[in-house]
Amino acid sequence: MRSSPLSLAGVMLIEHTQFADPRGAFFESWNARDFAAAGIDAQFVQENVSVSRRYVLRGLHYQVSQVQGKLIRVLAGRIFDVVVDLRRSSASFGQSVAVTLAAETARSLWVPPGFAHGFLALADDTQVQYKVTDFWAPPAERTLAWDDPALAVRWPLPAGTVPVMSEKDRQGKTLAQAETFP
């Protein structure tokens, strides 16, 4: 496994060592020892899978209590994955980073607590698996506006395409309005 820090402190792209032969391939998606050696000392309490059609946008989600770290990977399809730093004490507060994750690559994204996270499905039947470090807490859940100009995220949507979203995600708050972290 190789971990690469991204432009937001604590966010890491994980490239898993994949073993392939004529039968197919194998890789460890989680190994506590290897992740701890990379600086990710996480204990997961829940694992989720979402299934989305092309141009479904989920997020940008976070919880203000029971704050979650997330380990994200794609089981089928591809996503444009976005992370936003919501830690006011951070030099990168309000900045975002984006990566493309795909089922055919053995890569995961580590998002530590204190960040908003969301993704755009780039293929039909996209399946995203994410492990979290704390339980889902609906009263603590918040949504950051995906299209807030202050975030300057360049979502890869064809001209004139409006993403498919939940009503909750359509009502996301701008960074200026959002509850953030110290």
Q: Nearest Cα to 117, choosing from 78, 151, 91, 143?
A: 143
> What is the tally of helices (H) and strands (E) in the chain?
2, 13
Q: Where are the domains of the chain?
A: 43-170
Q: Is 55 a catalytic residue?
A: no
Contact 73, 128 (CB under 8 A): yes
Q: 154: which 2 tokens?
A: 């360049």
Contact 70, 131 (CB under 8 A): yes
Q: Is 130 a catalytic residue?
A: yes
pTM > 0.75: yes or no = yes
What CATH superfamily is the domain 43-170?
Jelly Rolls (2.60.120.10)
Tokens 């004529």 correspond to what residue?
A: 22
Q: Read off the pLDDT of residues 65-86 as tens digits, 9 standing for 90 and up.
A: 999 999 999 999 999 999 999 9
The residue from 55, 62, 117, 130 that is catalytic is 130
Does residue 60 have a cis bond before it (omega within 30 degrees)?
A: yes
Q: Read off the pLDDT of residues 28-48 as tens digits, 9 standing for 90 and up.
A: 999 999 999 999 999 999 999
The pLDDT value given to residue 23 = 93
Average pLDDT on 150-178 reads: 97
Query: At 47, phi and psi to the nearest 5?
Result: -130, 130
Can you tell me the distance from the alpha carbon of 155 to that of 13, in angstroms, rounded to the nearest whole number? 19
Q: Nearest Cα to 164, choosing from 60, 56, 78, 61?
A: 56
